[in-house]
Structure 1
Amino acid sequence: MLVGATALALITTNAGISLAAGTLRIGMTASDIPLTTGQTDQGGEGQRFMGYTVYDSLVEWDLSSADKPSVLTPGLALSWNVDPADNSKWIFKLRENVKFHDGSTFDAEAVVWNLDKLLKTDAPQFDQRQSAQGKSRIPAVASYRVIDPTTVEITTKTPDATLPYQLSWILLSSPANWEAQGKSWEAVAQKPSGTGPWKLENGFTPRERAELTPNTEYWDKNRVPKLDKLVLIPLPEANTRIAALRSGEVDWIEAPAPDSAQSVKDAGFNIVTNAYPHNWTWHLSRVEGSPWNDIRVRKAANLAVDRDGLNELLGGFSVPAQGYLPPGHQWFGKPDFKLEYNVEAAAKLMEEAGYGPDKRLKTKVIISSSGSGQMLPLAMNEYIQQTLAEIGIDVEYEVADWNTVINIWRAGAKDASSKGGTAVNYSYFIQDPFSAMIRQSQCNLAPPTGTNWGFYCDPEMDALFDKVRNAFDPAEQDKVLQQVHEKYVNDALFLMVTHDVNTRAMSAKVKGFVQAQNWFQDFSQITIEP
């Protein structure tokens, strides 16, 4: 990992390009360039910067407004409808006259080819790296077929109203380009081809930089980029990002250190925030022998976290958790368990669970050093370590870079990579029902099938998830999701800590950016003043 002056020197060394007036340089929290072949790694940040830039999905998010939560919008699919006679069958009508960056035509065959690259292990184009990122996103998919060049049918294993949300994660790359690159995904990585508003034409340098240029032939003329170039620079250490911004080596940084916010503003930079669908949790293991199998311990830990104190540590750039979902969320419901800071009540619960001064609970938690949505994980986890120690929970941390933590999370609590950890600190994308809750907590989505890292399994919760899938009316679905969230909180299924406000710092020269209430953002309208 590159930190401090070393990383800053690397930027200077490798930034020796002639910067056009319209070049925007972004310091990411990721430690490497996200996977470029289609399905990105590096979590939501990878999808933000190398996903919805170079690629499109069938279903996308409306990122045009800062004033209201994002909703799904047509992407490469103009429309999608479930068969009223069979709610497991969906018809997707595709956008016509769309070209991949290599000039080949997007059509229904390309959709099926891309699903095969993730789901069909004997397909020539199957790619394990992309499958690891994408397969768990679409567990509902049972089969799919071409009906005609502009129509695809997708069949789900059971009726599933969350399918459009699942497909919003699946990015479509060019079959013709894969052929042209010798059927090698390694070769495609340096010369990828999507249908998105940006192109990656000149490859990239691992851990250093990637340069995106506008796709002037993009199918949505309103989203043809106005910039000449978008440069992505991995800077996983917060103080290094601040130094890079101050020195003019970058124009924009993700997740600035909170204690630097005022001085950054005083220096003429802008701090941009907005509510967005995010939480910051410990995902608790429920395998045999885990201390978190005791609800008293789970509730005690939740009562022992001083969330307001943590918010002060973060310079006020957070929303202290009142549940797994943020306060005021349409799915919040009315849980009975209150996430207040109450050390006395927490200590009493620990005593009831059999712990005390002579029997402290010792456990290991997996955390990242930085990463997408992780905010300031080292400082935040140190704070939590201190507060939990007050009630007899002694925490040892296993620290890894963000992409390694993601791989541990995908492998599950039973895997050797977890090294006996009983929790993993993870920030979740919570803007759709499947990503928010189902894939973390459904019995049959434990690894390797899905991302239920802790192997939690409760038939009552699964029954609620079945109701969600069969609720094709949004209002009806919202009511069931409120019941799901109430159970999340009342059973203290996670250590629920805080919600990010998506803080960014940028040069005053950056114009036209609208920070959507979304993990993803639209860079097409941005310009840079000379």
Structure 2
Amino acid sequence: MKIIVTLACCLALISFNTAMANTLRIAFDADPVSLDPHEQLSEDTLQFSHLAFDPLLRWKQNGQFEPRLATKWQRLDDRTIRFFLRRNVTFQTGHAFSAKDVVYTIERLKKSPDFRAMFDIIESVSLVDDFTVDVHTTYTNPLLLNIMAYVFPMDKVFYQNHDQIIKYGESFASRNVSGTGPFILVNRELGSRLELKRNPDYWDKNSLGNVDRIIFTPIRADSTRLAALLSGDVDFIFPVSPIDIERTKRVAGIQLVTLPSTRILLLHMNQARRKELRDRRVRKAINLAINQPLIVKKILKGYATPAGQLSPDSFLGHINDLEPEYNLAKALELMKQAGYEKGFRISMMAPNNRYMNDEKVAQAIAAMLGKIHIKVDLKTLPKAQYFQEFDQRSADIMMLGWQSDTVDSNNLFEFIIACSDAKTGLGAYNASEYCQPSINDDIRQANREMNPEKRRRFLQQIERTLHKDSAIVPLYWQDLIWAAKDNVNIQDIVNDQNYPYLGDLFIEQK
């Protein structure tokens, strides 16, 4: 009898533990193209990094920094910050985390084509002891902590000697993972499934997170992704199409969370490919022909802010009087002045699963340009293929979205606007092939200036130069829209940079 009772109690305990295990099923519009945290500076790469790795520090919802693998930091002088590292942390291989891994990671970031421009400021990293590092910059920089939020320490023992960074290629780091993060990769089927399990040795025992397993399924189509949530097949989705928002709000048991973001959508006009685009009058005409407020109202249903510049109003570079200007008559007159009254044919590429309603926005832009007799050959591609074409500058006009990595105007200018320089990484995403040396000078000055008002003048000067030159076409700052079941507390872990901290996600028991 005692044996039977004991067995029954064990079975009950097993049943209870199974019931309490929480699996989170996610459907986003695309999955990460690589497991290498340094291969591509992109939103999905950083989302994955927050799952499998851990940063030295991270942004909180209130815009302040939160210690992670660095427990605290101290500025020693104008060019040096000391970071004190967390002890008793292990990588998923079992290797102990130490200062050597931080030094290794920063040195690797300085070699990354995508991250190089951000980390070029770091002159060296020196070991003080096993859990202390000093980061030395080549000059004073007001954004060093912002930059260090992108240091996700890698397992030096695991990666060293086969850590080549190959964009869109096969490498050891693109297929294998050893981080200190809250989850461990279990299975990956590129383009169809990503499965992770809770890291039983995760250092953060104070986290309220109770997700034991994540099953991530990329679903490109907005309607299919929403249908998966409404049917109960998934628990959490991003993004929600603006046309589905009102419908989603009316569904019992589903919550909708929206946040304005500083992600700017823009068009690059390649001056190296097309002589027409070297004429400022043509670039200005293209700007004037695109009706940003109409795109936001009709296609995005108001879930974005029309832009006349790159810097949102929370950034130092923002200029209040630079608003989007739609003037079809003036655009036609400029085309005539430039000698293109009859227009010309041009190629354009855009993604179809990267930004909110990106394909529809691209189609609307093509139609608008048709009104000034520019015939657009539009091609849209899934994100993974699109950015390979973007890197090759494969079309005359290309769409890009950019979230400032440092929450500052200068990050936009360094990557999108600066004269391209493979050695420093500047202009890595400048598909306009636009080069204005005075802008590069202002970027350098702003990176060294510690006085906020003086920095503001440099950054605003860049915005005015871009506006005068019609160098790019600012479109809008895109809102972020998530939906989830009511018992999945996503409001506590999402942020305006769209790196949900899923390690801290709490799912309430129904």
**What TM-score do the two structures reach when normalised by structure 1?**
0.81
Shift in Å, 1:314: 1.7
**Alignment partners' CA distance in 2, 1:342 and 1:457:** 27
Which of 92, 95, 119 in structure 1 is aligned with 2:86? 95
**Alignment partners' CA distance in 2, 1:227 and 1:323:** 41
User: Over aligned residues, Cα RMSD in angstroms?
Assistant: 3.1
1:74 aligns with 2:76: no
Match of residue 35 from structure 1: 34
SS state at 1:467 partner: helix
Match of residue 418 from structure 1: 393
Give the conservation status (yes or no) of the 8 Å contact 2:257–2:482: yes
**Alignment partners' CA distance in 1, 2:74 and 2:464:** 31
Which amino acid in the other structure matches residue 443 of structure 1? C
**Alignment partners' CA distance in 1, 2:220 and 2:41:** 11
Shift in Å, 1:380: 0.7
Which of 440, 451, 457 in structure 1 is aligned with 2:416? 440
Which amino acid in the other structure matches residue 345 of structure 1? K
1:331 aligns with 2:305: no
Which of 152, 160, 168 in structure 1 is aligned with 2:149? 168
Which runs of 5 or more structure 2 residues have no equivalent in the other structure? 1-17
Give the conservation status (yes or no) of the 8 Å contact 1:334–1:486: no
Describe the shift of the 1:182–1:206 C-alpha distance in structure 2 as closer, same or farther (beyond 3 A): same
Match of residue 25 from structure 2: 25
1:487 aligns with 2:465: yes
Describe the shift of the 1:512–1:360 C-alpha distance in structure 2 as closer, same or farther (beyond 3 A): closer
**Alignment partners' CA distance in 2, 1:449 and 1:179:** 23
Provide, for residues 260-305 of structure 1, a one-character-per-residue CA deviation record: whole Å limited to 9, x for no partner.
2222222333222111121111123232644332222222222212
Give the conservation status (yes or no) of the 8 Å contact 1:364–1:423: yes
1:360 aligns with 2:338: no
Match of residue 322 from structure 1: 308
**Alignment partners' CA distance in 2, 1:321 and 1:509:** 36
Give the conservation status (yes or no) of the 8 Å contact 2:22–2:212: yes
Give the conservation status (yes or no) of the 8 Å contact 1:38–1:172: no
Describe the shift of the 1:280–1:72 C-alpha distance in structure 2 as closer, same or farther (beyond 3 A): same
Provide, for residues 344-385 of structure 1, a one-character-per-residue CA deviation record: whole Å limited to 9, x for no partner.
1222222222221xx3132112211212xx111111110111
**Alignment partners' CA distance in 1, 2:387 and 2:75:** 33
Which of 116, 125, 133 in structure 2 is aligned with 1:144? 125
Shift in Å, 1:512: 5.1
Match of residue 238 from structure 1: 222
Match of residue 100 from structure 2: 109
Shift in Å, 1:44: 0.6
Shift in Å, 1:252: 1.6
Describe the shift of the 1:288–1:402 C-alpha distance in structure 2 as closer, same or farther (beyond 3 A): closer
Give the conservation status (yes or no) of the 8 Å contact 1:190–1:203: no
**Alignment partners' CA distance in 2, 1:223 and 1:180:** 35
Give the conservation status (yes or no) of the 8 Å contact 2:122–2:136: yes
Match of residue 228 from structure 1: 212
Which amino acid in the other structure matches residue 254 of structure 1? F
Match of residue 402 from structure 2: 428
Which amino acid in the other structure matches residue 403 of structure 2? F
**Alignment partners' CA distance in 2, 1:466 and 1:179:** 33
SS state at 2:425 partner: coil
SS state at 1:147 partner: strand
**Alignment partners' CA distance in 1, 2:262 and 2:481:** 13
Kindly, what percent of the aligned residue pairs are identical?
A: 23
Give the conservation status (yes or no) of the 8 Å contact 1:37–1:173: no
Provide, for residues 309-360 of structure 1, a one-character-per-residue CA deviation record: whole Å limited to 9, x for no partner.
212222222222232233464431245x54122211222222222221xx31
Give the conservation status (yes or no) of the 8 Å contact 1:360–1:393: yes
Shift in Å, 1:152: 2.5
Match of residue 45 from structure 1: 44
Which of 442, 455, 466 in structure 2 is aligned with 1:477? 455
Give the conservation status (yes or no) of the 8 Å contact 2:270–2:396: yes
Shift in Å, 1:497: 1.0
SS state at 1:248 partner: coil
**Alignment partners' CA distance in 2, 1:56 and 1:221:** 14
**Alignment partners' CA distance in 1, 2:491 and 2:210:** 11
**Alignment partners' CA distance in 1, 2:118 and 2:224:** 33
Deviates more, 1:454-463 or 1:38-47: 38-47
Shift in Å, 1:496: 0.9
**Alignment partners' CA distance in 1, 2:423 and 2:226:** 38
SS state at 2:333 partner: helix
Describe the shift of the 1:315–1:288 C-alpha distance in structure 2 as closer, same or farther (beyond 3 A): closer
Give the conservation status (yes or no) of the 8 Å contact 1:97–1:106: yes
Provide, for residues 243-263 of structure 1, a one-character-per-residue CA deviation record: whole Å limited to 9, x for no partner.
222222111211222222222
Give the conservation status (yes or no) of the 8 Å contact 2:117–2:414: no
**Alignment partners' CA distance in 2, 1:379 and 1:396:** 15
Which amino acid in the other structure matches residue 68 of structure 2? G
**Alignment partners' CA distance in 2, 1:397 and 1:362:** 11
**Alignment partners' CA distance in 2, 1:403 and 1:135:** 21
Describe the shift of the 1:509–1:334 C-alpha distance in structure 2 as closer, same or farther (beyond 3 A): closer
Q: How many residues align?
A: 481
**What TM-score do the two structures reach when normalised by structure 2?**
0.84
Which amino acid in the other structure matches residue 242 of structure 2? P
